[in-house]
Amino acid sequence: MTDDSEDDAADASVDGGADPQALADRVADGDLRLYELDDHADAETAATARRLVVERDTGVDLSATGDYAFAAESADSNIENLVGGAQLPVGVAGPVEVHGEAADGDFYLPIATTEGALVASVNRGCSAISAAGGATVRVTKRGMTRAPVFRVDGVAEGAEVAEWVEDNEDRLAEAAEGTTSHGRLQSVTPYVVGDSVFLRFSYDTGDANGMNMATIATRAAAEVVEDETPASLVALSGNLCTDKKPAAINAVEGRGHTVTADVTIPRAVVEERFGTTPEAIEEANTRKNLIGSAKAGSLGFNAQAANVVAGVFIATGQDEAHVVEGSNCITTVEAREEELYASVNLASLQVGTVGGGTDLATQSELLDVIGFAGGGDPVGSNADGLAEVIAAGALAGELSLVSALASRHLSSAHEELGR
């Protein structure tokens, strides 16, 4: 059979008019597996058939799960064995005034969450920031990383590989960048541990989160390392990246976007909006976020940065598991005569405005609400803008929560809004 005839046969096997009930019966009879349904029906019909199968096997009515707004085929690259959509309430905080290099103006912050009082708390912080003239935000570093691990005979051979890599970074860049039209290799840092060599590749990935881009590019570069050195690739990810796990290397070196936001709020605004004083907020932050976090051995020295990061990530189609790195935040507060200074530093905020879940209907819509959907001009500016707005939102959340603790209003807010 020719390639063309194979394609025709594959196309013919997908029946847009297939009966979901009949397909579910075939799964029950063992004639089809759940993942094979996409080969016999369009995406919407296949999802319906899967729901029928699961409903039969579990006795659960999945009508709410089956009531979703996106087109099933639009999620092909995001999910396997689709049965429907999980719906979360989405609230907006703001607008908050942001003065960044990519984001400059007033921005709403969409937050998807089931935690009562969260949006209200962030909104209060946004109000105080705007009343003070806005938050200043800067992205200070960018770089999506992937760190393969190689096997060598020992330390001497490992040092030889590390030296070769340092002398031939241009060759690795050529191989890596040949796999993508957007990614650019920024650096390769070798680490020798006994008979293991780790190479931490860092890429500028433009407006994409870039994890898949970095993985594919690193595979091509790793082949060059194997061809030209004694090293043998063991795993394309050696956990020195570090992806979706708490890691000090991300806190120090950064991953994705390293972004910092700060604000100076007059004492009168602090007292009016937060019902407490700059001195009380500083003490609460020092004893809780700094001393308490240090005693706990935490990598994040903050009150609730992950709340804002997670809520915006889910709302805008980011990889939600990267909240692990997004919670890696240091919050500082200082009382200064007649004002309060506060800042947040998120060392490894991994965001994108193209690819992944950003193309889904709701997520794309909410990225549009912020103002940074799709590719930016220049490339990378939309991802930078999103990172800056999220950092301002995290600052708002930190200010509000620490102030609530300082004024002893936290429990009453949750009694009113979170129960």
DSSP 77: T
Q: How many helices (DSSP H) and strands (DSSP E) are in the chain?
A: 16, 10
Contact partners, residue 243, CB within 8 Å, separation at least 6: 146, 211, 237
CA 236, CA 157: separation in Å to the nearest integer?
A: 20
Amino acid at 321: A
pLDDT of residue 410: 54
CA 298 to chain centre: 20
319 is catalytic: yes
Active-site annotation holds for 115: yes
pLDDT in tens, the chain (419 residues): 344 444 443 444 555 568 999 999 999 999 999 999 999 999 999 999 999 999 999 999 999 999 998 888 999 888 999 999 999 999 999 999 999 999 999 999 999 999 999 999 999 999 999 999 999 999 999 999 999 999 999 999 999 999 999 999 999 999 999 999 889 999 999 999 999 999 999 999 999 999 999 999 999 999 999 999 999 999 999 999 999 999 999 999 999 999 999 999 999 999 999 999 999 999 999 999 999 999 999 999 999 999 999 999 999 999 999 999 988 999 999 999 999 999 999 999 999 999 999 999 999 999 999 999 999 999 999 999 999 999 999 999 999 999 999 987 654 444 455 54
- Put residue 195 in one of left, alpha, beta given phi > 0 → left and psi -120 to 50 → alpha: alpha
Contacts of 7 (CB under 8 A, 6+ apart): none
Nearest to 323 by CA among 338, 308, 342: 308
Residues 307 and 395: beta-carbon distance below 8 Å: no
- Cβ neighbour number for residue 148 with a 10 Å cutoff: 24
The model's pLDDT over 309-350, given as tens digits with 9 standing for 90+, comes to 999 999 999 999 999 998 899 999 999 999 999 999 999 999
Torsion angle of C-alpha atoms 47, 53, 56, 62, degrees rounded to 10: -20
DSSP assignments along 22-66, one per residue: HHHHHHHTTSS-GGGGGGTB-HHHHHHHHHHHHHHHH----TTTT
Q: Which of 115, 320, 334, 339 is catalytic?
A: 115
Q: Is 78 exposed, middle or buried (0-12, 13-18, 19+ CB in 10 A)?
A: middle
Q: Beta 329-336 vs 339-349: how paired, if at all?
A: antiparallel
99 is a catalytic site residue: no
Catalytic member of 228, 319, 334, 339: 319
- Please tell me if the domain spanning 90-142+247-417 has the same topology as the one spanning 148-235: no
Residue ranges covered by each domain of the chain: 20-87, 90-142+247-417, 148-235
Give start and end residues of each alpha helix (H) in 181-304: 211-228, 248-253, 267-274, 278-285, 293-296
Give the per-residue pLDDT at 288. 96
Map tokens 């600052």 to a residue: 395
**What is the chain's mean pLDDT, rounded?**
92
Q: Which fold has domain 90-142+247-417?
A: 3.90.770
- Which residue is it, tokens 């070769």? 164
**CATH architecture type of domain 148-235:** 2-Layer Sandwich (3.30)
